[in-house]
């Protein structure tokens, strides 16, 4: 009987460990605001998401806001660092990700918040600066029940401190002979298409005779291409996903 109880205990601990680790695995549906603690209204969530996505498009820097009522036994700084690393917040090569984790205060537990910075952000927002943001800007608002305002204030400061440092581009890379060969083949293909266009008319109709040849949302015209009115939807999230950034434990935490 004792052996059976030991086996059950071991299996329970194993399954719990797997469940914990799954939190830090990159989710299939990715977003820059994950409000598991229901800290925001729908309007606040939308406003925060729109601001973060616009900043991501402009600079490639990604700021993840994650609220939770359960840190799964982790210190909140460790939780935030694991989340940023596991989800790949920021861009690979730039490591320009920021993770803000918020846990609400309850009758039994203090409220907690952390700002964790990727390697590329650490020189721009040092640990001491993260600490000042938390203690001087966030926690005073949290104590007054202004959760969204505290988070939004921290986001504005992080944007101000990092804006202009990173551009929406990929890190420099060394091009190989295979890359150059691919470019040469593409240029030859373009030359052939142009010659055929001259031969058959204003545009290469034998090969591009309908909208599907150009791709969804585009239509051929005599002078080039134009976007069809119903090609793309403007609604919903425009976030393309996390880019594979890395974290090394930079940042700070606080409680109230």
What percentage of residues in the chain have a pLDDT greater than 90? Answer: 60
Better pLDDT: 194 or 105: 105
Locate 153 and state its tokens.
């204030």
pLDDT digits (tens, 9 = 90+) for 149-172: 999 999 999 999 998 777 665 544
Instruction: Indicate the fold that domain 21-169+243-255 takes in CATH.
Output: Diaminopimelate Epimerase; Chain A, domain 1 (3.10.310)
- pLDDT bracket for residue 2 (50, 70, 90): very low
Mean pLDDT of 86-98: 96
227 sits in the region (left: phi over 0; alpha: psi -120 to 50; else beta) called: beta
pLDDT at 228 over 70: no
Mean pLDDT of 16-45: 86
Better pLDDT: 22 or 82: 82
pLDDT at 187 over 50: yes
Q: What is the pLDDT of residue 166?
A: 73
Q: What is the pLDDT of residue 208?
A: 37
Residues carrying CATH 3.10.310.50, the chain: 21-169+243-255
pLDDT digits (tens, 9 = 90+) for 189-208: 666 655 655 555 544 444 33
pLDDT at 77 over 90: yes
**42-51 residues labelled b (16+ CB within 10 A) or e (exposed):** eebbeebbeb
Mean pLDDT of 36-61: 97
- Residues 6 or more apart whose CB falls under 8 angstroms from that of 197 comprise 203, 204
């Amino acid at each position: 009987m004792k052996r059976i109880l030991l086996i059950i205990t071991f299996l329970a601990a194993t399954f719990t460990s797997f469940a914990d680790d799954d939190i830090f695995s990159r989710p299939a549906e990715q977003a820059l605001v994950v409000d598991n603690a229901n800290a925001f209204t729908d309007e606040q969530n939308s406003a925060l998401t729109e601001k973060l996505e616009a900043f991501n498009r402009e600079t490639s820097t990604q700021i993840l806001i994650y609220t939770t009522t359960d840190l799964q036994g982790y210190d909140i700084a460790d939780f935030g660092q694991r989340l940023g690393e596991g989800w790949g917040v920021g861009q690979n090569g730039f490591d320009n990700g920021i993770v803000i984790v918020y846990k609400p205060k309850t009758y039994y537990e203090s409220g907690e918040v952390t700002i964790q910075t990727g390697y590329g952000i650490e020189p721009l927002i040092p640990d001491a600066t993260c600490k000042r943001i938390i203690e001087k800007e966030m926690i005073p608002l949290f104590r007054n029940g202004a959760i969204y305002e505290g988070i939004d204030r921290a986001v504005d400061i992080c944007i101000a401190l990092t804006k202009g440092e990173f551009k929406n581009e990929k890190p420099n890379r060394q091009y190989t002979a295979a890359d150059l060969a691919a470019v040469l083949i593409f240029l030859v293909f373009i030359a052939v298409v142009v010659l055929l266009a001259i031969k058959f008319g204003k545009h290469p109709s034998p090969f591009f005779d309908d909208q599907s040849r150009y791709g969804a949302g585009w239509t051929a015209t005599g002078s080039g291409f134009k976007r069809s009115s119903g090609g793309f939807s403007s609604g919903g999230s425009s976030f393309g996903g996390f880019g594979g950034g890395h974290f090394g434990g930079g940042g700070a935490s606080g409680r109230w």
